[in-house]
Structure 1
Amino acid sequence: MRPRIIIVGAGFGGIAAAQALRTADADIVLIDRTNHHLFQPLLYQVAGAALSPADIATANRALLRRNRNTRILMAEASGVDAAARELCLADGRRLPFDYLILATGAAYSFFGNDQWREHAYVLKSIDDALAIRAALLSAFERAEQCDDPAERQRLLTFAVVGGGPTGVELAGTIAELARTTLARDFASIDPRRARVVLCEMGDRILTAFDPPLSQSAREMLESLGVEVRTGEAVKAIDERGLNVGDQRIDAAAVLWAAGTEARPAAKWLAADAAKNGAVKVMPDCSIPGHPTIFAIGDVASFDAGDGPLPGLAPVAKQQGKFVGKLIAARVAGRSAPERFRYRDYGTMAVIGRSRAVAEIAGLKLKGFIAWLAWSLVHLMLLVDFRSRVSVYVHWAWSWFTYGRGARLLTGYAPEPGEKPRTAGLPEIEAEPAE
């Protein structure tokens, strides 16, 4: 009987593992809550109306069409029965496995302030991005019709919490949306007067970069009109804004990008976990005590010697490919590599049009050259040719015209004070399967 390998999650790691197992003499089952693979590094551009969802998402079945040994299920995992070697699904089904790869990703953490979820937008899914896009565009539309100066200013104020790459990218794209794309579109308001505030509790933004690049990124943001506030913690978030330090900021939307927490794989298996909930794994990415169960990507905490690997797409892709090849070798009776080794190709963050910072192979880049490198790398990381062509065309058109082609408000637009949609934010309180 052929072994069954179950992969949970169709992100970078899950897809890479499935592709590495394409020729394995085994039955592969890929499970995900959605029917598509999402290129999350460009999700902020959907939120900022620069790209449409179809530009950065591809159907799982299309991606794995060549995998004749793979079955794809749109379902949600709820636990693991390691003793019985069964994956538990939310609908009550239990799927037996010989090997299990957990690539379930991470969710945003509010650091114990779960009541803030009611009023802050997050960015983990297409639904999240569309909700943010609707909130941004509808805020300008409402400001156009508002006669109260104070309320109009609130509608033209947007706060981003978190000075990591996602927060920096969101702040930059909102500023460019207001100051270039929408600059001449309204009669009663001047979108260029919109206030974009980036709040970071630490003493600088982009702490993963060297301080000089971090300072350059701050200067680039400020050149776009972004107000960067560091060294002040967020104390409250409500339906009309937030409190930062000792100051109140009334805002049309608060975007949360301040921290992540891994999906509950560690709880499912009663395994040792890092502070962010990621399960600590062995050198071959297996879970201690469970040599046939692997965790990769954001759900795993892999100690590379100088600390855990960061939650980046290249890490997940490399781990997925490694684990896929390892399992394929075991199934075929061949010797398998004993340790995963990560190849660091660099770290990048984009601030806006022709503005970025990057560290690549020891080189520290900023400005246009860093933006060009970021663009080329992200185009190549896109999983299919159609997406590369579509994104390239949109970027070229936007660069030359300052325009954005995904500015439609269709259907949902949040009312003032309405709870933001957080469809992409998973529950993280699941208990281990019995």
Structure 2
Amino acid sequence: MTTPSPATSSSAAPSKPRVVIVGCGFGGIEAVRVLSKAAVEITLIDRTNHHLFQPLLYQVATAGLSAPAISGPIRHILRSEMRRGNLTILLGEVSRIDASARSVLLEDRGMADGGPERIDYDYLIVAAGATHSYFGNDGWAAHAPGLKTLADAFNIRRRVLLAFERAEREAEMARRNACLTFAVVGAGPTGVEMAGMLAEIAQHTLPEEFRRIDSKRTRVVLVEGGPRVLSAFSDKLSQKALEQLRSLGVEVLTNAKVSTIDADGLTYEALDGSTRRLDAQTVVWAAGVAASPLGASLAATTGCVLDRAGRVVVNADLSVNDHPEVFVVGDLAAATSPDKTGTPQPVPGVSPAAKQMGRTAANNLLARLQGEPTKPFRYADYGSLATIGRRAAVAAVDMPVLGPVQFSGGLAWLFWLFVHIYFLIGFRNRMVVLTDWAWAYFSFERQARVVADPDLAPRPTAERSA
């Protein structure tokens, strides 16, 4: 494979190849760390100024952790790479990728020139991630927010905390019960973790803090369209998770396909074909994801194939077909990797996979620069974890000596805890999370319960009728 010719630009061509990386998630950061040691000029573009540890985002949404505990400024995280002098970090949102011109366009966000900025590249790594998918029912988003960003977490946290405040003021019993009903749609890891944490808040954190309501009477309902929770896990672990959820007081509805979501709750179709209603003032969406719109932008200019979720179907080395200078990693990539039998398997959309893809794409990019052949991506699957609540979790781990091991309960919960502490970026974040978790474990308290705009809560029934 020959090295692509440099992209044209109105400015003088730099002496080093220009690499643009879109997105500072797990894949983007790993790519930067590999490439910063090479003789290339890197431009990292992200729509926010922070990196987010998404596996713990639900803890911010449920007031268990504050935002700085699971996030950090990009410029601080990559300060060592910045010292090498070949990394530029730009705050901006890429609106379009023009692969034919080898450039990306940034949306205007109040810049002085008033027009989009064009950034040329010789090589491109797209790690733009994913967003929520409502399966064609985008109107549900207003009533059932998903959880992908800190803004999403703040929104959900506000809705959850204000639901209890509204219940305290509500005179009508039916509406009070609706305020105290929380529905989580989707029983994957995010949905299971969210449901378990909501139940823990109601059962352990809030009792005795309200006078008119009993938070222990809160209903947390997990709605799953498939036949079981945590479908990516084995039947055994799925059943263990179901038992642990029910022991926490979570109501689990399987084979329940949501048909409508509105401001007062949701309607679903049960397995027997009947349509049923669930009145819930707070609905959280954890049922589906869709790839970043940049996948469609790439398809328009490269002719690459997109899968049903809008992800880019990549080659074995994570490059885009007919465009060896473009790599796609993370949740935006529809990649496969052979299992132990050599059978290609879809790469899951999890953080370890994104990190491995970021490193592989960066090393393949450097191989192309040196005229060497690229290597196919091989995903090292170390297992899957999901926490449900206090001393409740499931784990399927591939141990170096023991091989595949499955376990659940308190041991899996401790394993989950230390794995997430280990992978948090930055020593301060690890210490903050460990301290907050230890305090919450022994005291049942959650300190991140401040709501900045409580006046936006809907008025209770008595005031609405006045």
| Bigger radius of gyration | 2
Q: How does 1:234-383 map to 2 (within 5 A)?
A: 234-245=258-269, 246-270=275-299, 271-304=304-337, 305-331=343-369, 333=370, 335=372, 337-361=374-398, 362-383=404-425
Residues 139-166 of structure 1: CA deviation (Å, up to 9, x unaligned): 1111112211111101100100001000
* Cα contact 1:138–1:413 (8 A) shared by 2: no
Match of 2:105 among 85, 88, 91: 88
* Letter matched to residue 218 of structure 1: L
* Cα contact 2:260–2:268 (8 A) shared by 1: yes
Q: Which moved more, 1:317-326 or 1:353-362?
A: 317-326
Q: Tell me the equivalent position of 2:240.
A: 216
SS at match of 2:159: helix
* Letter matched to residue 43 of structure 1: L
* Cα contact 2:331–2:354 (8 A) shared by 1: yes
Match of 2:90 among 47, 68, 73: 73
Residues 17-51 of structure 1: CA deviation (Å, up to 9, x unaligned): 11111211111011000000000000000001000
* Whole-angstrom CA distance in 2 between matches of 1:99 and 1:273: 21
RMSD over aligned Cα atoms: 1.3
Residue 334 of structure 1: how far off its partner (Å): 6.5
Q: Tell me the equivalent position of 2:203.
A: 179
Q: Tell me the equivalent position of 1:20.
A: 34
Residue 326 of structure 1: how far off its partner (Å): 2.4
* Letter matched to residue 95 of structure 2: S
* Letter matched to residue 353 of structure 2: V
* Cα contact 1:43–1:126 (8 A) shared by 2: yes
Match of 1:160 among 173, 176, 184: 184
* Whole-angstrom CA distance in 2 between matches of 1:155 and 1:252: 5
SS at match of 1:231: coil
Residue 106 of structure 1: how far off its partner (Å): 0.5
Q: Tell me the equivalent position of 2:113.
A: none
Q: Tell me the equivalent position of 1:389.
A: 431
* Whole-angstrom CA distance in 2 between matches of 1:208 and 1:27: 40
* Cα contact 1:163–1:206 (8 A) shared by 2: yes
* Whole-angstrom CA distance in 2 between matches of 1:136 and 1:328: 47
* Letter matched to residue 338 of structure 1: K
Residue 329 of structure 1: how far off its partner (Å): 3.8
* Letter matched to residue 295 of structure 2: A
Q: Which moved more, 1:266-275 or 1:388-397?
A: 266-275
* Cα contact 1:131–1:413 (8 A) shared by 2: no
Residue 184 of structure 1: how far off its partner (Å): 1.8
Q: Tell me the equivalent position of 1:32.
A: 46
* Letter matched to residue 381 of structure 2: D
* Cα contact 2:179–2:280 (8 A) shared by 1: yes
Residue 322 of structure 1: how far off its partner (Å): 1.4
Question: What runs of 5+ residues in structure 2 fail to find an aligned partner?
Answer: 1-14, 109-115, 270-274, 338-342, 399-403, 460-466
Q: Which moved more, 1:159-168 or 1:259-268?
A: 259-268
Q: Tell me the equivalent position of 1:59.
A: 73
Residues 147-205 of structure 1: CA deviation (Å, up to 9, x unaligned): 11111101100100001000001100100011001112111111010000000000001
* Cα contact 2:162–2:454 (8 A) shared by 1: no
* Whole-angstrom CA distance in 1 between matches of 2:438 and 2:360: 35
Residue 84 of structure 1: how far off its partner (Å): 1.1
* Cα contact 2:203–2:215 (8 A) shared by 1: yes
* Letter matched to residue 263 of structure 1: S
Q: Tell me the equivalent position of 1:406.
A: 448
Q: Which moved more, 1:195-204 or 1:118-127?
A: 118-127
Cα separation, partners in 2 of 1:73 and 1:378, compared to 1, 3 Å: same
* Cα contact 2:96–2:105 (8 A) shared by 1: yes
* Cα contact 2:368–2:374 (8 A) shared by 1: no
Please list every run of at least 4 consecutive aligned residues from structure 1 whose deviation after the TM superposition is greater than 4 angstroms: none
Q: Tell me the equivalent position of 2:149.
A: 125
Residue 328 of structure 1: how far off its partner (Å): 3.1
Residue 412 of structure 1: how far off its partner (Å): 5.5
* Whole-angstrom CA distance in 1 between matches of 2:294 and 2:306: 9
Residues 87-140 of structure 1: CA deviation (Å, up to 9, x unaligned): 122221111001100000001111111121221111011111011111111111
Residues 292-326 of structure 1: CA deviation (Å, up to 9, x unaligned): 10000000000224431110000000111111222
* Letter matched to residue 291 of structure 1: P
Identity %: 48
* Cα contact 1:4–1:28 (8 A) shared by 2: yes
* Whole-angstrom CA distance in 2 between matches of 1:156 and 1:98: 55
Residue 275 of structure 1: how far off its partner (Å): 1.2
SS at match of 1:5: strand
* Cα contact 1:22–1:66 (8 A) shared by 2: no
